Amino acid sequence: MKFIVYDNPKQIGDHIGKEIVDLLKRNPKAVLGLATGSSPLPVYDYLAKAYKAKEVSFKDCYSFNLDEYINPPFEEATYRYFMKENLFSRVDMDLSHTHFPSFENMDTYDDEIASMGGVDLQILGIGRDGHIGFNEPNTSFDSKTHTTPLEESTRIANARFFHSLEETPHEAITMGLGTIMQSKHIVLIASDLTKVDAIKALLKGEKDLQWPATVLLDHPSTEIFVTKEVFDEANK
């Protein structure tokens, strides 16, 4: 696991965006593992700009998103909608190549990923409780795609995408920690101070079921991107 420290989230987005552009130049049919939330937005901005500048095409690549809400109250709250808004509609992504976990496919999602040759590059944010995907504390390190209740702290953090906390979903379907660990390369972004305790757990270097992201300590190719303020605070 390698820590990479930048002054601000845009620099993190530029670095990871460039990694993805380079990957797609090497392998236009690459399989991307995608995340929603605030952390990857600067990456998606970089990719939209690179596409506009004709540096890269997404038409032959594939994507598997990490997670999706169960029973979101309106369509705009789905992660599929989020991805269309923030990435797919801004580039030439073929929507038939994009995948999201659902009740229908959750038992076959891991096999589907494997049958495409596995995820080449997985983007992760991290929750304040250390979740990756929606793998909350105490999720088994070898879990596959599954349904999960959301912790109250996760619902509170995500209520900003809804009209109220009451409306914020209680459950989601997520790739498991075992699913994520199959990715060939992983980039994790922690760019705001709510993530300090989760980053502290990673810096401690011990796998701990209370901090799901610590599973990544065993992954052979993971980069942890943090802002300087997060890094400095986590090292105190």
State the Cα angle at 224 between 196 and 156, rounded to 5°. Answer: 40
Q: What's the rounded Cα separation, in Å, for the pair 29 and 32?
A: 9
Among 24, 32, 77, 132, binds ligand F6R (CB under 6 A): 132
Question: Which residues have a Cβ under 8 Å from the Cβ of 162 and sit 6 or more positions away?
Answer: 73, 77, 168
Asked whether position 131 contacts ligand F6R by CB under 6 A, the answer is: yes
* 216 lines the binding site for ligand F6R (CB under 6 A): no
At residue 233, φ and ψ (nearest 5 deg) are: -65, -40
Token readout for 144 is: 């596959």
Q: Report the run of H or E that residue 189 belongs to, with start and end.
A: strand 186-190
- Name the minimum Å distance from CB 25 to ligand F6R: 26
84-105 burial, b if ≥16 CB within 10 A, otherwise e?
Answer: bebbbebbebeeebbbbbeeee
User: How many binding residues for ligand F6R (CB under 6 A)?
Assistant: 14
Residue 168 binds ligand F6R, judged by CB under 6 A: no
CB of 123 to ligand F6R, least distance (A): 9
By CB under 6 A, residue 16 contacts ligand F6R: no
The 176-195 site mask, x for binding ligand F6R (CB under 6 A), equals: --------------------
Give the list of residues 6+ apart from residue 52 with CB closer than 8 angstroms, or none: none
Separation CA 62–CA 119 (nearest Å): 9
AA letter at 177 = L
Binder of ligand F6R out of 24, 31, 39, 62 (CB under 6 A): 39
| 98 belongs to the binding site for ligand F6R (CB under 6 A) | no
Q: How far apart are CA 124 and CA 224, in angstroms?
A: 9
Min dist. Cβ of residue 72 to ligand F6R (A): 13
**Shortest distance (Å) from residue 130 CB to ligand F6R:** 10
120 binds ligand F6R (CB under 6 A): no
**Interface of this chain with ligand F6R, residues 53 to 92, rule: CB under 6 A:** 66-67
Is residue 125 part of the contact set for ligand F6R (CB under 6 A)?
yes
- Taking the least distance from each CB to ligand F6R, the nearer of 57 and 167 is 167
Stretch that binds ligand F6R, among 7-15, 125-133, 204-212, 216-224 (CB under 6 A): 125-133
Which residues in this chain contact ligand F6R in the complex, by CB under 6 A? 35-39, 66-67, 125-127, 131-134
